[in-house]
Amino acid sequence: MFRLSGPVRVTRLRQAVVAAAERDEVVAAWTGELGLGEPFHDPGVDTFGLHNAVLPVGDTFLEVVSPLVAGDRCPAERFMQRMGGDCGYMAIFQVEDMDDARAHVDRCGLRRVLDIDLDDIRASHVHPADMGAAIVSFDQPTPAASWRWAGPGWAGQVRREVVTGLAGLRLAAEDPDALAERWGEALALTPRDRTLALPDGTRIEVVAAVAGERTGLVGIDLRAAPDVEARTFELAGVAFRLVPPEPA
C-alpha cells in the first residue's frame, strides 16, 4: 500500500508527450484526427536541443518534442534511439504541493534530473531509468488551472468537438507487475490489476509486452466528445485511443 498520510500528492494527468523525428507531421496528424487548435512552440526547449509543439485537449495537453538538429544526440534523440524510433516520451502529473512531491520522490530513492522553480509553475523530472517506460514530471502550476508550458493563449485554442481531455496512458513491460509497483510507489497510489486510478478519473494501465513489440509508453487514451465513436490510430510509435465520455 503506497498511499501515504497527508494530502494527495498527484491530482491529475495533465500532459502526455511523444518524441518524434518530424514534429510538424505529428502536429498535422493530431489536428486532422482530433480537431485540435493551433499549437504553442516553447522557445525554452531549445536549451535541450529540441523544438516542440503543445496542443490543448480540453484543459489537458499533448506535446511532441523533436531534435532541433538531427544527429546532435540530444536527450530526446538518444531516448528515441534506445526505443527504436518515434515513441512515447513523458508523462506530466499535476501535484498539490511541490515540496511534498519532491520529498516523496527523494524518499523513494528516485533521481531528480531537473528541478524548475518559476513564479507560475514548479516542476521536477524523474530519471526514466528509475521509473521505467518514460520520463515522469511532477508539476505544480499557480494558479492550479493554469499551464505555462502551453503558452499564454492556450485557452483560446481549446477545441472540444472530437476529444475533451486525456483519459489515461498504457505502459508495456516485460515485467508488468514490477513496473506497476514502481509507478504506484512514485505516484503514491496502489495498483489494482496493474492499473493506477488518479483522482481526476484518468488511469495508468500497465500491460505485458508482446514478444517482438515495444515496451515503454505505448498508448495514450483520449476522452471522446459525445457522439464521437471510439477508435484507435497509430502515430509516433504510440496507439492513440478515443474512449467513451465518462458517465455523467
Task: With 0.85 as the threshold, say if the pTM is over it.
Answer: yes
φ, ψ of residue 92 to 5 degrees: the values are -115, 120
According to CATH, the topology of domain 160-243 is Immunoglobulin-like (2.60.40)
Coil, strand, or helix at residue 155?
Answer: helix
Q: How far apart are the first and last CA of the chain?
A: 30
Q: Taking a C-beta distance cutoff of 8 angstroms, is the pair 123, 140 a contact?
A: yes
Q: Which helix (H) or strand (E) holds 60?
A: strand 60-67
DSSP three-state, residue 2: coil
Domain 10-147's class?
alpha beta
pLDDT score of 247:
64
64-110 pLDDT per residue, tens: 999 998 888 888 999 999 999 999 999 999 999 999 999 999 999 99
On the CB side of 39, CA atoms within 13 Å amount to: 23
Locate the domains of the chain by residue range: 10-147, 160-243
The three cell numbers of residue 243 are 474512449
The Cα–Cα gap between 235 and 163 comes to 16
* Residue pLDDT, tens place only, 110-149: 999 999 999 999 999 999 999 999 999 999 999 999 999 9
pLDDT band at 4 (very low <50, low <70, confident <90, very high): very low
Distances (CA, A) of 10 to 4, 63, 89, 92, 238: 12, 20, 19, 10, 24
Share of the chain above pLDDT 90, in %: 87
pLDDT above 80 for 6: no
Q: Is the pLDDT confidence value at 2 over 50?
A: no
Count of beta carbons in the 10 Å neighbourhood of residue 1: 6
Question: What distance in Å separates the CA atoms of residue 10 and residue 119, rounded to the nearest whole number?
Answer: 20
Q: Specify whether the CB–CB gap between 22 and 29 falls below 8 A.
A: no
**Burial per residue of 170-198, b for 16 or more beta-carbon CB atoms within 10 angstroms, e otherwise:** bbbbeebeebbbbbbbbbbbebeebbbeb
Check residue 48 and report its DSSP letter.
G
